[in-house]
Structure 1
Amino acid sequence: MKKILMIGPFPDPISGVSVSNKVVKNILKKQSEVSIINTSFPIFSDSIGSFSFKKLFFFLKLNVFCYKVFKSDIIYTTPGQTFFGILKYTTFILLASLLKKELIIHVHGNYLGLQYKQLKGFKKKLFKFLISKFTKGIVLSSSLKSNLLPFIDESKITVVHNFAEEYLYQNMHEKSFDSIKIVFLSNLMEEKGIFNLLEALKQLEAENIQYEAKIAGNIDGSLEYKILSKINELKNTQYVGIVSGEDKKQLLQWSTIFILPTFYKMEGQPISILEALATENLIITTNFAGIPDILKEGINGFFVDAENSNDIVMRLLEIDKNKSIIKQIATNNKNYFLDNFTVYKFSEEILKVFYANSTT
């Protein structure tokens, strides 16, 4: 039986990466002995990837767990995509490489390659040196392979699409698609487009368009007052907090339109989009990062320009005039999801990375 060490964030706080790691752990432990080093920083912040002494001290303390590398056959990591995001894994990367362990990096975004291009001098050389130590890489879609190509041979890079958990779409009640019920489900960060959405909803109310909207997710403390104030100005919008489990299921089964106008620099393929597909929602999002690899304009929903609330309003006005399109697209989305993004399909692909040409 293989011994696998997972190094990365686990819930809480909830993020696409932490949810993915939780599921990967459950998949792997059916066939292997799995241990973890949880890198989740307990304080949520909009300034992800930035340096702070609190973060430095937190991650330095994690190095005491480097002994786990000695006892493992495979080291699986989901590091950040910034210079410091990679640097904080240095001890584990170098030790695993020295001991000739299988070393896997799973990149959940589209920023790593850009960060490498932006770096200069010693920092750029160190960045490449560390990532080049990985023996295998995983990305979320084909267009995201470019993030790892400067460091890892393409033959060692595997595409594994994200997923949505089964409980979300099992035993669903029949939906009503005759009204606009909007959900935003993500961390409430400026780059996730929350302010653009709230401005669009304000314009909808000015146009006397009937809608309901629910906003869910973690709020960065520095933006909390500003975000909640804008939500409170809206008559038909409410903030429902952080949702998970049955609360998330009920929220996504209530909604008919999922909106995520993201321009987040670390974005890959948001799991929340897949969760919305699974629960019969029309998608409105941006043509950004790996999103167009999994969504098609007019088939799964509609793309809007980043940082453009007017574009969101235009799409919603078009939908309001032809509400039948909501059911048409939303029901198609669930079938599309079942064919491509279940945990079962994710499990099949992730296991190939770990156990190809080997026995458990």
Structure 2
Amino acid sequence: MRMLFIGPLPEPVTGQSLACQIFLDELSKKYTVDVINLSKRDFSSGIDSLGRIGEVLAYIWQARRKSRMADCIYFTISQSISGNFKDILIYLACFDKLPRMAVHLHGGAGMRELFKPSNRILRALNRFFFGRIGAVIVLGARHVDIFEGIAPVDRIHVVPNFAVDPLFVDEATICLKFDRVAPLRLLFLSNLISGKGYIEMVEAYKSLDSNTREQVQIDFAGGFQSQEKKNEFLSSIDGISQLRYHGIVGGVRKLELFRDAHLFCLPTYYPYEGQPISILEAYASGCAVMTTDHSGILDVFANGRNGYCVEKRSPDSIRQAIERAVAEPAALCRMALNNRAEADELYRTDRYNARLVHIVEQLK
């Protein structure tokens, strides 16, 4: 079988580009795969330059040419208005192959906004194409209703995200980590962009009493949207030894940060959030998790079982969660062990890839 794969690949590394690479690697073991790489140079959303417009036109030309030879198409779709217009043009370029196309939504919150009833023209255009597309893949049950009135319900498939195998640790390692909680290690590992909650993390730490601050260390890792934003952040933590920025990490360093962390923190309200892979990576690494009820997170997270659910945009809610974590390390350990078990059962890459391959193969 010959497949056309349309989606962003690293670099830069995002949850979506990582997921695309993992599935592309699996497909390449079995099939002949043509690739159209939609990756951008940075973390911005939309089509914001003449250069980007040229890239998009090239994508559409490639989609038209390569789709003619494809038996099936896998396409990861956008959540911005301009990105959706690009997707519509790609649907048009692949029109004859839409019944053999699987589209995969790696976000959720942004697409819900895009498809709200007031966007009548966009809803109508997407309904026309989604009525012909063979399969729609979402990350969790909370995202199924995004496509209500847009795509036939029987063509919507739920496939949760994953954690890669090297991140999984054994129970003994987790227990040993929680025997040493001085200091309690908190980890924010995500791209440091607006809405991810990293600014609120700093504000929450600064609002702790001096005794609690001494018992906590927060490690930040990830990329910024701009050098200006990076400088602002570094200035905000300057002189605070308990707050550390490690840059963009991968490989061994990423594994070390996850394995040293007791509590992974992602208090996100990011407008294009889906189901953060970083949360599942934290599960595999034996961390409890602090996060929010946003987009599809509660499909994979329950307050009290997996960690602490905090309010969006609320340094005070984060502060309270940190204080609770410091006071109950034994409860944190129980949640971390539970998270490791859940990740092993539900969020292995083999399981993720097998589900996607099954969906795609049904389109032949």
- Shorter-chain TM-score bucket reads over 0.9
2:60 to 63, 67, 78: 63
State the SS of the aligned residue for 2:115. Answer: helix
Q: TM-score, normalised to structure 2's length?
A: 0.91
Q: Which residue of 1 aligns with 2:234?
A: 228
Q: State the one-letter code of the partner of 2:241.
A: K
Alignment check: 8 A CA contact 1:172 1:253 kept:
no
Structure 2 SS opposite 1:235 = coil
Secondary structure of 1:108's aligned partner: coil
The match for 1:199 is 203
Q: Is the 8 A contact 1:97 1:103 kept in 2?
A: no
**Other structure's SS at 1:317 match:** helix
Q: What is residue 219 of structure 1 aligned with on the other side? A: 224
Equivalent AA in structure 2 for residue 55 of structure 1: R
Give the match's secondary structure for 1:36: strand
- Separation in 1 of the partners of 2:147 and 2:337? 35
Residue 242 (1) aligns with residue 241 (2): no
Aligned partners of 2:98 and 2:132 also within 8 Å:
no
Identical pairs, percent: 28
Separation in 1 of the partners of 2:306 and 2:357? Answer: 29
Contact 1:269 1:291 in 2 (8 A): yes
Q: Give the letter for the 2:293 counterpart.
A: N
Distance 2:121 2:337 in 1: 52
2:76 is the alignment partner of 1:78: yes
> Could you tell me which residue of structure 2 aligns to residue 166 of structure 1?
165
Aligned length: 355
State the alpha-carbon separation in 2 of the partners of residues 56 and 225 from structure 1: 30
CA contact (8 A) 1:201 1:234 kept: no
Are 2:286 and 1:280 aligned?
A: yes
Query: As a proportion of its length, which structure holds more helix?
Result: 2
Distance 1:83 1:250 in 2: 38
Q: Match of 1:204, SS?
A: coil
SS at match of 1:92: helix
Structure 1 runs not aligned, ≥5 long: none
Residues 299-349 of structure 1 show CA distances to partners (whole Å, capped at 9, x for unaligned) of: 110100000011111111112122212211111110111111111211221
Please state if 1:148 is matched with 2:147: yes
Q: Which residue does the alignment assign to 1:92?
A: 90
Q: Aligned residue for 2:16?
A: 17
- Map of 1:210-359 to 2, 5 A cutoff? 210-221=215-226, 222-356=228-362
Q: Where in structure 2 are there 5+ consecutive unaligned residues?
A: none
Residues 201 and 235 of structure 1, relative CA distance in 2, 3 Å threshold: same
State the one-letter code of the partner of 1:126.
L
Letter in 2 for 1:90: I
- 2:41 maps to 42
Q: CA RMSD in A?
A: 2.0
- Distance in 1 of aligned mates of 2:263 and 2:170: 20
Q: Could you tell me how far apart the structure 1 residues matched to 2:168 and 2:356 are?
A: 22
The worse-fitting range, judged by mean Cα deviation, of 133-142 and 53-62 is: 53-62
1:188 is aligned, of 161, 181, 192, to 192
CA contact (8 A) 1:106 1:139 kept: yes
Q: CA deviation at 1:61?
A: 2.9
User: Matched residue of 1:114: which SS?
Assistant: helix
- Alpha-carbon distance, 1:207 to partner: 4.8
Structure 1 contact 202–234 (Cα < 8 Å) conserved: no
